[in-house]
Amino acid sequence: MRNVLREYNYDWRFWGILDNASKMFDATEKEFKHTAAFIPSFSATTEKLASTGPAGIKLVKATARYMENILHARERGKKLALITYNFSPAVLFAFDIVPYCLEGLSAFYASTWTKGIYESLDYCCEVGFTETSCSGQRVGLGAILAGLAEKPDFIVCSTPGVCDSNANAFAFAAAYLDIPFCQLNYPPTLTDERAVEYHRADFKNMLAFLEARTGNKPDLDRMRDICREIVRQDEIICEIQEYQRLIPSPVPGIFNLFIYDIKVLFSGIRDGTEILEEMLKTVKDNAARGVAGDGTERLRGFFFYIDHYCMHLKYWRWLEKNGISHIGTMMTDFWQADAPYAKGREEEGYVMDLTDMDTMIDSLAAQSSRMPMIKQIRGPYDAPHMWLDDTAGVAKLMKPDFLAYIGTMGCRNTWSSVKLIAKDMEKLGYPTLILYADAFDNRIEPVDTFLGKIDEFLRVRDIRGWKGAIWK
C-alpha cells in the first residue's frame, strides 16, 4: 500500500465524506450544485441518493451516524464487533455493542472513494489472503489489516456451509488480528424441530460469547424494543414488496439496495424504520399516480443473486434511464412469514414472538437462519426450500421479463450450480442471463462492459422488443 494512503485513516476519511454529504442535503439547491462540483468522485452518488427524496437523505445521514459510532466506540466505553452481511446486528444492539458490517459498508466505500478501495482490496492479498476471495470482505478488511481502520474487539458471523470465501475471510481476520471469534452454524434444514433446537442452542452459545466479552446481559425491555422495531421494519418491507408486484412497479429500483442496507446495518433500531417509512410514502404516492418508481417501465428484471451495487451507483442510474424496473434480488428476500413470496410457504419464514426473553431469542435465531444466502444456498440448489424454489417462487409472483445472475470470482458456492438453475428457469419461461462482474472492484469488469452485456442480451433475445439501451 502506498505511503500516501497510510497518511489518512480509511474509516475517518469515509466518515468525513458521508458526514459532509449528509450536510449537503440541508443546503439550498444552488449550494448543493456548487458543492457537488468539488466532490467529483461522490457527486453522482450524492445526486442519485438525493433524487430519491427523504429516504435517500435519511439513509446517508444514518450511515454517517453508523460510521461515527464505529469511530468513537471505545471512547464511549463500547465494544466493536466485526460482522458479516448475513448476520443481523439486532442482537448486538441489545448488548449495546457497536456493529461493523464489512459488506454493507463496502457498498458505500465503493460508491465514494474508488482509488482507496483498490489499495485496500490488494493489501488484503499482500498480507496473505487469497486474491480469489470475495471482494465484499476485502474492501474493509484490507483497511483494518493495514491499521487504517478501527480494530474490532471481536468477530461474530454466520457463514459456514454458505460461503467458504466469507467464512475464511473472518477466520483469517481473527487469526491475523488475534481477536476472539464466534461463528454460527446452520444445518441443511430449517423447519423441523431438530433444526429449531440446533439454532436455539447455537444462538445461546453466541449470547454467552457476547456476555463474556462485554460483561453485560441483554436487557429484557431493550430486547423487546429492538424486536418490536424489527416487526415494524418487516411490516413495511413486506408492504413495499407487495407494491412491487404491480405493473408498473411503483418502487424505485434503488430501494432494493436500501432494504438490503437497512437489514444489515439498522435492523431493530429507529434509524432503519424511519428510512423505510419514507420509502413507503414514496411508493404509495407513485402507486396512487400509476407511475413506475423510476419514471417508466419498459422491462422488469429480477436479479437472483448479487447486484452491481456500487461504483458511483452507475448501475442504478442506468436501469432508471432505460426504464428497467428492478424487482428484487435474493439479497432483499429475508423470509418474514408474512412476506408476499412466503404465501403458502409460511413455515419457511420467521415470526417475531415478543412474549419473553426465550421467545425473542428463538425469534432472532430464526431470523438469522433465514438471512439472504443462508436460506438459499446452504445445500443443493434444487433441494426443497433452497435457491431454485425461492427463485421460481419470486419470479412467479413478480412476473419479470428476464432474470440475471451477477457473480464475482469469489462466489464459488453459486458458480457451481448457476448454469443448472439458469437452465431450470429457462424451462419455466424466464430468459436468464449469467454475468461475471464484481460489485466492489470495477477492475474485474468495468461497469459499462457489464451493462453492455445486459443490453446485448435483451436485444438478442428480443425481450419485449428491446431495441437498445440509452447511454447518454
With CA atoms as reference, report the closest residue to 283 among 223, 325, 316, 335. Answer: 325
In DSSP terms, 156 is beta-bridged to 182
Task: State pLDDT tens for residues 165-218.
Answer: 888 899 999 999 999 999 998 777 777 888 888 888 999 999 999 999 999 888
- Residue 241 carries which side chain, given as an amino acid letter? Q
Q: pLDDT value at position 161?
A: 63
Q: Average pLDDT for consecutive 10-residue bins of the chain (472 residues)?
A: 70 80 80 70 79 93 94 95 92 94 80 75 90 86 90 88 82 95 84 85 93 90 95 98 97 95 94 98 98 96 85 88 95 94 93 94 91 87 92 96 91 90 98 91 86 96 95 84
The confidence score (pLDDT) of residue 41 equals: 64
- Rounded to a whole number of angstroms, the distance between the first and last alpha carbons of the chain is 36
DSSP for 259-306, please give it.
HHHHHHHSTTSHHHHHHHHHHHHHHHHHHHHT-BTTB--SEEEEE-S-
| Rounded Cα gap, residues 367 and 352, in angstroms | 8
Q: How many C-beta neighbours within 10 Å does residue 76 have?
A: 9
Per-residue pLDDT tens over the stretch 223-245? 999 999 999 999 999 999 999 99
pLDDT score for 40: 64
**Confidence (pTM):** 0.94
Q: Which residues have CB under 8 Å from 295's CB, separation 6+?
A: 320, 323
CATH of domain 221-465: 3.40.50.11900
Q: What is the pLDDT of residue 185?
A: 85
pLDDT of amino acid 293 = 96
How many C-beta atoms lie closer than 10 Å to residue 176's C-beta?
A: 15
**pLDDT reported for residue 354:** 96
The domains of the chain are located at 221-465
**Which run of H or E residues covers position 158?**
strand 154-158
Q: Any idea what DSSP says for residue 151?
A: P
Instruction: Return the exposure string of 442-452: e unless at least 16 CB atoms fall within 10 Å of the residue's CB, then b.
Output: beebebeebbe
Q: Which three cell numbers stand for residue 240?
A: 413495499
